Amino acid sequence: MTKNTTRNYQRTPLALAIALAATLGATAAQAVDFHGYVRSGIMESNNGGQNAYLAGKLGRFGNETGGWWSMVFSQDLLKTDDGKSFGVWAQLEGDTPLTGNDDWTYGDTYGPNGHMGMTAYYVTAKGYIAAMPEATVWAGKRAFETHEIQQLDWKAVHSAGNGAGIEGINAGPGKLAFSVKRTDTNSSTWYTTSTTTDSSGDTTTTSTANTSKYNVDFFDIRYAKLPFISDATVELIGQYGMVDKNDEQEDLEAAGTIVKAENAFIPTMIITKPVGKGYNETYFQYTTKRFANNLVALGYNDTLSTSFDNDYSDAKAFRFINTGETYLTDDVVMQHSITYATGTDITPTLEKANAFSVVARPAYIWNANHKTALEMGWFKQTNTVSGEDKVEEGEKVTLAQVITAGPGIFARPELRFYTTYIKANEHEISGSAPFNDGKDDQLSFGVQVEAWW
Amino acid sequence: MKLSWFFNITALSITTVLAGCASSGSNQENQLLNNDLSTSATQALATQSLCCNDLAQVTYPALETGKKLINGTSPAMQFESGKSYFYAAKIDDQYLGKQLSIHSSIGKTVFPLQVLLLKADHQVSRSLPLSAFSTTGYSLMSSPALKADIQLFPEEKFMIIYADNRMMGKSIKIPHPEKLKEKATGIVAPPYPDLDIPFSPWGVVEIQTAGNNSALSKLLSSEPVLSSQNTTTGSAPAATAVAPKSSTSTVAVTASSQTQQYYQQAIQQAVKNNQIEQAMQLVAEAEKLGFNDARTVFVEAVKQK
């Protein structure tokens, strides 16, 4: 009896193995794939503070006062011989301000204590739609194919939230993807007052700020990898934010208590061309209403924001971006980003906005472990506010010696020893000089590490 | 002048680093990985005299794990796939039944490695062609590589690592390292083209016992992302071995049926010993070499238990 029990016990994994290897023709869950990213360091300035100045326009290199980390865990849960697969992806991200050593007091927003969050967790299923077996269906929380202007640290195309979608559909010469996500956002603020009377008959009036949360569905359609001229390709993107209001919100808008929240559409065309070992990318974007402000705001010009903090009903904006990396010789590589954005009637008071920035970073590659990089940035933005022109203009130069670990020229981690000089020539839009003690220039030194794996 | 000491130290550091960067400080390994020496290596190989005419004549030092530089100081001989520099070693008993992880580092060039495993009488027991090696991508502190894990059989006493000379003048494409950042951040990588890596008669080969890796290093290492067979710009050699030549200066490799037979027996033995995981590993290894009957052998072995 004991012998039989033992034999049956041994047969169970064998039967399972046969089922996996032969009958089902499938591979069970693979090892968890772990990837991560970290950026941190120290920075000091001649003004005694850590102040960055408009890195989204002057360049982030030697102009960052925050660190960032990301941990990604993904796994193929199932793969079958006939091309079907299930996978899962989870991502944890956070920032680490460079000002202190507080490890644990995380907040829920970017700030002095840093914050962290589960920014993605979704499941993919490929090969389960008979009509398009090449397609992958997904559901969960995800930032779908974010396009970042790396040198400026903002997202020219951004689409993140809880939702579902389908990607990788063969459609003519290109690939099609569609998704919808929730990007709920606040209304503009309105104030209510309440009056209380204490026992001695004194009255106190209290003003309370109120907002209402709109439901916003963010639709995203991509048509990518379209052959263009020579070896260039084009991606066409359409993103539509649709506001779903409740009766209370309709009433508040009708009464003029809050500004009207309107649907908005932003189309984008991206032309991509390989250039030797580097690349060149050009973006064209035109939009109206809420998204228009994202293109001409003074800071980081991410496209995703749908916050209705102002009346954007008449806003229109256009943006052109050209960015890339070019090997001028085997030893000299140049990164660059050029951005031009213009908008009209952004808000009832912001009648016009024009912004231009150019950032270039040539680097000399001494050998596989050492580079010397020089980043130069300049920008000017003019906003016409209630008939008056306000100008913000700045320039930056960063000199850095870069040490890279490992034998490959692209290997990480990378250590950057840098010094940066920034001058804010005009600061009428931001309203005040950007550096400590009311100074409009800053010399800083720092060491930064960036690693990914 | 607040924090002038900080500025002084940082400025000194930058100056020191700037001064230091002009000298490469490269050792032989860096020279092999960070320079495209494929042309000079090919020229050197052409004039290199042969060390031996037969596998039995080769000197086999004891196998030691670690990096092996294959360059102009390495011995060379004529193989079926052409003349090649090679690394040879005697497999001691300490490696009996162990799994070896063998990889060829990808730098500016890559050594298109192949492996011969020999019995005590120097007859070939297995021949692992280039197509048996997969390409691993960039990971933290490690270069991409052509890599394979090999389960050693008890009869295998010697090992030779050599290049497939037919691949010279061809290249392999690997994903740009920025693609790894995409996996780490979820942000679309800039559209860098794939890197084109030429094959070279010289290179850096590393041998490890597969069980020696720490859990952390396993966690941090990338899974194979690309098959060399699929990405070479030329056609990769077939997984089967080739017929012997009459030339006495050419090492004949007649391992195809023998290798297949070894895998069959090893799979059957592993199943018999209830070592299912090892058996599955052998099935995967054999299938990679093109022995498509391995799965059937496995299933039949289980049925007969």
pLDDT of B218 reads 37
Mean pLDDT of B269-288: 79
pTM for the full predicted model: 0.78
Residues of chain A neighbouring B10 (CB-CB closer than 8 A): 44, 417, 419, 445-447
A38 versus B215: which is more confidently predicted? A38
Confidence of residue B274 (pLDDT cuts 50, 70, 90): confident
pLDDT at A431 > cutoff 50: yes
Min distance B211 CA to chain A CA atoms (Å): 16
Mean pLDDT of A361-386: 93
What phi and psi, each to the nearest 5 degrees, are found at residue A138?
-140, 155
Confidence of residue A330 (pLDDT cuts 50, 70, 90): confident
Mean pLDDT of A14-25: 44
B245 versus A43: which is more confidently predicted? A43
Q: Do B192 and A277 touch (CB under 8 A)?
A: yes
Mean pLDDT of A297-305: 83
Mean pLDDT of B61-79: 93
Q: Do A411 and B177 touch (CB under 8 A)?
A: yes
Q: Which of A120, A366, A411 sits opposite B21 (nearest CB)?
A: A366
Using one digit for the tens of pLDDT, what is the confidence trace for A242-296?
A: 999 999 999 999 999 999 999 999 999 999 999 988 899 999 999 999 999 999 9
For residue B296, give the H/E element and its range.
helix B294-303
Min distance B32 CA to chain A CA atoms (Å): 10
Helix, strand and coil in chain B, % to nearest 5: 35, 25, 40
- Average model confidence (pLDDT) across chain A: 88
Q: Do B178 and A401 touch (CB under 8 A)?
A: no
Nearest chain A residue to B17 by CA distance is A401
pLDDT of A27 reads 53
Min distance A187 CA to chain B CA atoms (Å): 29
| A331-345, A367-381, B68-82, B214-228: least confidently modelled range | B214-228
pLDDT at B247 > cutoff 60: no
Give the best residue of B110, B140, B275 to mutate against chain A (max A CB count within 10 A).
B140
Using one digit for the tens of pLDDT, what is the confidence trace for A159-176?
A: 999 999 999 999 999 999
**Mind spelling out the 3-state secondary structure of A244-269?**
ECCHHHHHHHHCCCCCCCCCEEEEEE
Confidence of residue A301 (pLDDT cuts 50, 70, 90): confident
Q: Do B2 and A21 touch (CB under 8 A)?
A: no
Residues of chain B neighbouring A159 (CB-CB closer than 8 A): none
Mean pLDDT of A336-352: 97
- Tokens representing A246 are 């409740």
- Rounded distance between C-alpha atoms, residue A66 and residue A110, angstroms: 9
Total count of residues recorded for chain B:
305
Nearest chain B residue to A90 by CA distance is B186
pLDDT of B140 reads 62
DSSP B125: E
pLDDT at A218 > cutoff 50: yes
Q: Which of A32, A35, A145 sits opposite B188 (nearest CB)?
A: A145
| A115-124, A317-326, A343-352, B294-303: least confidently modelled range | B294-303
- Average model confidence (pLDDT) across chain B: 76
Residues 6+ apart with CB under 8 A from B103: B133, B136, B145, B146, B147, B148, B205, B206
Closest Cα partner for B95 from B153, B148, B162? B153
